[in-house]
Amino acid sequence: MTDARSQIQQALDENEVVLFMKGTKEMPQCGFSSRVAGVLNYMGVAYRDVNVLADEAIRQGIKEYSDWPTIPQLYVKGEFVGGCDIVTEMTLSGELDQLFDKTEVPYNKEAAEKIREANG
């Protein structure tokens, strides 16, 4: 499992934003992964997607790494943010914007506001 852990750590070290998901950002393989990727894509966030379906060791390893049982998992600047429900809640409350502002991750603020307007 150390190989998976080192691959996870490398992805987090080399990218400001990482989404461990089922599928890819272009072709999510589950609704929850699709929702989080959709938010990040719409907000114009540059992020690395890691397809856990392509590697069972990564799929299990990320759950152990974060001590979080489900996928997708979003990380910003190496810190675990949460899964689909948490990211959705943070998007709608504006907390995700605040996190991106605090960590200096570029995103489209107008797009974030449109998401809130559409779901308000």
Could you tell me which of 90, 120, 113 has the C-alpha nearest to residue 43? 113
Cα angle: 89, vertex 119, 15; to 5 degrees: 45
Residue 84, annotated ligand binder?
no
Regarding the domain with residue range 2-118, which homologous superfamily does it belong to in the CATH classification? Glutaredoxin (3.40.30.10)
pLDDT value at 1 more than 90? no
Residues 3-42 have pLDDT tens digits of 999 999 999 999 999 999 999 999 999 999 999 999 999 9
Residues 58-100 have pLDDT tens digits of 999 999 999 999 999 999 999 999 999 999 999 999 999 999 9
